[in-house]
Each structure stands twice: as C-alpha cells, then as structure tokens.
Amino acid sequence: MATNRWWRGGVIYQIYPRSFMDTNGDGVGDLPGIVDRLDYVASLGVDAIWISPFFKSPMADFGYDIADYRDVDPLFGTLADFDRLLAKAHGLGIKVMIDQVLSHCSVEHEWFRESRESRDNPRADWFAWADPKPDGTPPNNWMSLFGGVAWKWEPRREQYYLHNFLSSQPQLNFHYPAVREAMLDNLKFWLDRGVDGMRLDSINFCFHDAQLRDNPAKPAHLRVGRGFSADNPYAYQYHHYNNTQPENLALMEQLRELFDRYPGATTLGEISSEDSLATMGEYVNDRRLHMGYSFELLTEDFSAAYIRGTAEALEARMADGWPCWAISNHDVQRAVTRWGGAEASGTFAKQLVALVCSLRGSVCLYQGEELGLGEADVPYEALQDPYGKTFWPNFKGRDGCRTPMPWDDSAQAGFTTGSHPWLPIAEAHRALAVQGQERDAHSTLNATRGFLRWRKTQPALQWGDIRFLDTAEPVLAFIRSFEGQRLLVAFNLSAAAVEWEIPGDLQVRAIDSHGLIAGQVEDGLLKLPAQGVFYATIA
C-alpha cells in the first residue's frame, strides 16, 4: 500500500501513559518511561502507538479533562520529552498517534475561566451555556454519561453549562466558529510537531442540539448501551440531541481538509451513538475521517453470530470507509476476563489477538493484551476512577483495566522504583510479566510477536475483503481476499473441541499456526481444538 496509507491494515498499540513505565519513582508512568520501552514496543511488530492524553490537566478524568492542549503535564514530563519520544519512535519505524479531546476541556482551561465570568466577555459564547427554566431547573432533561444531570449552575452568569461527562468537563460550543478554528489550530500544533495521527475522543459529541430539545425516554427493556450499564440514568434516554448532530459532518470534513495537508497523517474517531455502526458509516470515508471504531466489540457479547453480525453490518454501512477494531482499551473490562472469565487461559488470550487482527480493518491492541492480562480486582479503598466511585458496587469503574504494566515479578512489577504505584499491581499480573514471558517460547507474548510478524507477510489479512461463511456456534469462519490471494480463517470460540465441514468448493492448504493452537483437516473435516484457530490458503 502507498506509504501515506500506512494505517490501512496497521496494528496500533495503545499506551496508557500513567500505567506504562514510571522513571522518576512517583508511582505514575511518564513520557521518558515510554521512550525507555519503545524497543520493546518495536519488538511486537506493531505499526504505530497511540498515546492516551499527557497534556496539562487537573486529572479529574486522568487527562481527558485538558487544561492546555499544547503542553505536557509535568506529571508526564516536558515537550522536550515528547519530541525525544517522537524521534526515537520514528527511528524505530513506529508511527505516533496522540489522543485529542475536542468536545470538552477542563474547568481549569483558560477559555472556560474567562467564559464563566460574564455573558459579555470575549469567550462568553465558547461553551454550551443556557438559561434556566422559569423555576430555576436545568434547561432540558439531558443526562451525563458519568451519572446525574448534564448541567451545572454557574452563579456568575446565572446560567447552566453543559457537561456530557464530569461536571469539571464543560462542553465547548462548536456552533461558534471561533471554537472550531481554535481547536483545528490546536491539532495543527501537533501535526507541525510531527505526529502521524490522532485518536479523536468522543468525536460525535462535538455538537449539541442548538434548540436544546429534550431527549425522548427509552423503554426499560432497551436500557442497554455501549460503555454504560442499565443502572445509569444515562441509559434511560435516546440520545438524539446531546450528541451526533448533523452539523458534526461538516466538522469531520474540516478535519479531513486539515489532515490532508500532512501526507500520511491519519484520524481515528471514537464513536458512541444510538446506532454507532450507522454513525461510523457516515463519519468514515474519503471526505471525512480515515478510520473509526465504536464499542460494538467492547461489550460482553461473545459469539460467532454476534461478531459476524457486527462486522457484516459495518461492512454494509461503511462501503467507502475503513474500520478499526478493538476488543480492549482503557475504558472497558479487559477482553480476556470479559469474554473468558476469571480463569481464562493463555490459549484464549492468544486466540483473541489473532481474531481481532484477522478482521477487515486496522487494529488497536491495548497495552498488556500481548501478555494476556486479565482484569485486575481493585478494592474500593484503592479506587481512582470517578465513574467507578459513582456507581460502586454495581459498576467498579475502569481502574481494573488501567493498572500498571508488569515488566517483571518484583514487588512493583518493574513499573516503578517507588513504593506506591497510582493503582495497585495485581498479583496475577506479576506471573504474566514481560521478563518471564520473554524466556518462554510458547508464551502469549512470543505468540503475539510471531503472529504479527507473519501477518505482515499476508496482504489478504492486511488489506483484503472479507466474506463470512455459514457456520454453527461456536465456529466463526471467513475468507479474506486480496489481489489473487485468498485465505480461509476459522476460530473455535469455545473451550471444547469441535468439528466443521469445510465447504466442498474450497481446496485449502493449512498454514503454520505461529504459536497458536491450530486445527487439522482430515477428508474435508476441520477439527478445531478448544479455542483453536485455522489459517489456510485457498487454491
């Protein structure tokens, strides 16, 4: 593929900087820690890294509440550290993507500090302000995803401001042209610095309904969502008006115009709406975002029918776009536990990496996924996530997937020289540390490396079309095709051996399993062991 389309079929390794590597002993990971471990990242065979926010922030939402879009928070280092990171990554052949949060900022951002002072200051219209109803209540019924009403009173203006997330994350007013210009200029700052792409957080939340219409109620039996639970009042509504507005499409086109000025730079939009697949179909194409991902494979649903249905529905709606798949990230329970339970095996962890890397599209692998890390159990007294604190004990928040990366089996897992990491290190994670897996030729880590190296030699897996085959549970099977190469790919998603009759019109030759538990063909019958995989060329 053309150099400036490196992201097509690429594997992007997500780094959550607080939890990757701490070099100064304060218990929090930092940019120099990422620099120190870039050789390890390069050894995985990934194409790029995505670094979660490291900008100046009061850290109410751990960096997703930005107080200065153009500087590094001292907790993580300096701009010089970032430049050093960028240079070393590029020297290793790794692209660098950074997180950008366009829809909202922190209450400590200078823009909001000025805006909240009065109704007639230069930035008075930069945020989503609204008058109260005659009885003093909020202007409408919108709810915050993090719990409670999405409006907070500001006595200096005698108005409410909108916050779709924490009350310390005020919603920017993208209806105001100066806001759009300022945010695009912030993106340009980092593009000029040399970053290769941006993951755009909650990108469909930039615009809100200018008429402030009430969201309609959702029936109790439909109160499910992507990334929130039925006990969250956010689930009680159809979110037709507080996000995913028509005006957002023009913003996507403005973003693309900007990025097109930087050959090879890419955009990856995080999209969560009432119909995320349909929204991705609108947002991702040659005129808007390069890639998009949603929470569809970040849920508890794990079956061949669900995975096939999700991928086929997206294929139908994104004819001109390019998807990016993720099964774990910093916002959801780790996939090994979510889909395999507390006792999930290393075999299952290997299979999940192969599965997500075999679908049509690009891939985001979350740090520790290559080790087979499961969800950590963080006790309430150690909890940091405000989301978890609000909904405890029904929902324990996101800390369990954010605990420090285990580099060795020492007390602090080689993550910090300090005695108090910002989140406790799970005992089970020490047993899966990098150092130990490096020495085991059959480890999840080495299987991941072998698989990703092999994947780079398979054009059909990187760029090919996908066609699913009719199978009964628990078998998922499809064909990937690209310029004459055809691969049959099959997975047994269960913990028991199964058999599947390969369609008679397919003449196949098995390919080395590359450290995965592989199936065998006998007289057209594919015998898949528990959590087995099968790759074969089709004549």
Preceding amide of 246 cis, omega within 30:
no
Tens digits of residue pLDDT in 155-200 = 999 999 999 999 999 999 999 999 999 999 999 999 999 999 999 9
pLDDT above 70 (res 154): yes
Averaged pLDDT, 236-249:
97
pLDDT, residue 228, reads 63
- Closest by CA to 480, choosing from 361, 364, 360, is 360
Type of residue at 401: C
Kindly write down the DSSP assignment for every residue of 49-114, as one continuous string: EEEPP-EE---TTTTSS-SEEEEE-TTT--HHHHHHHHHHHHHTT-EEEEEEE-SB--TTSHHHHH
Q: Is 129 left (phi over 0), alpha (psi -120 to 50) or beta?
A: beta
**What is the pLDDT, as a whole number, of residue 73?**
98
Handedness of CA 86, 14, 185, 191 (dihedral sign): positive
Q: What angle do CA 237, 239, 241 make, to 5 degrees?
A: 125
Identify whether 39 is a catalytic site residue.
no
- Our answer to whether residue 201 is catalytic in this structure is yes
* pLDDT for res 320: 86
CB count in 10 Å sphere of residue 140: 21
The yes-or-no verdict on residue 242 having pLDDT over 90 is: yes
Separation in Å, CA 481 to CA 106, 296, 346, 353, 422: 46, 24, 29, 20, 46
Is the pLDDT at 1 greater than 60, yes or no? no
Identify residue 136 by its one-letter amino acid code. G
Q: Listing from the earlier edge strand, what are the strands of the sheet with 475-482?
A: 465-468, 475-482, 485-492, 533-538, 508-510
Domain locations along the chain: 3-105+177-204+262-454, 464-538
The reported pLDDT for the residue numbered 512 is: 85
What is the arithmetic mean of pLDDT over 64-79? Answer: 98
Q: For residue 522, is pLDDT > 80? A: yes
Closest CA to 350 of 505, 189, 491: 491
pLDDT at 453: 96
pLDDT at residue 225 above 70?
no
The structure's pTM equals 0.97
Task: Specify the higher pLDDT residue, 223 or 257.
Answer: 257
Candidates 73, 154, 270, 282; catalytic one: 270
Q: Per-residue pLDDT for 51 more than 70?
A: yes
User: Residues 75-92: what's their mean pLDDT?
Assistant: 98
As a whole number of angstroms, the distance between CA 351 and CA 448 comes to 10
pLDDT of res. 306: 97
| pLDDT band, residue 146 (cuts 50/70/90) | very high
**Tens digits of residue pLDDT in 290-342:** 999 999 999 999 999 999 999 999 999 988 899 999 999 999 999 999 999 99
The pLDDT, as a whole number, for residue 520 is 93
For residues 280 and 292, what is the distance between their CA atoms, to the nearest angstrom?
6
Catalytic residue of the set 22, 154, 201, 282: 201
Q: How far is Cα of residue 288 from the mean position of the Cα atoms in its chain?
A: 19
Instruction: Taking residues 218-233, report their average pLDDT.
Output: 78
SS3 content of the chain, % helix, strand, coil (to 5): 30, 20, 50
* Architecture per CATH, 464-538: Sandwich (2.60)
3-105+177-204+262-454, which class in CATH?
alpha beta
pLDDT at position 395 is 87
pLDDT for the residue numbered 209: 98
Q: How high is the pLDDT of residue 354?
A: 97
174 CB-side CA count, 13 A: 28
Report pLDDT for 514: 80
Return mean pLDDT, the chain: 96
Six-digit token string for 393: 């004990």
Strand, coil or helix: 392? coil
Q: Is the pLDDT of residue 34 over 90?
A: yes
Q: What is the share, in percent, of the chain residues with pLDDT greater than 90?
A: 92
pLDDT, tens only, 446-487 = 999 999 999 999 999 999 999 999 999 999 999 999 999 999
Mean pLDDT of 426-440: 97
CA of 326: how far to CAs of 132, 293, 451, 469, 506, in Å? 41, 7, 17, 22, 30
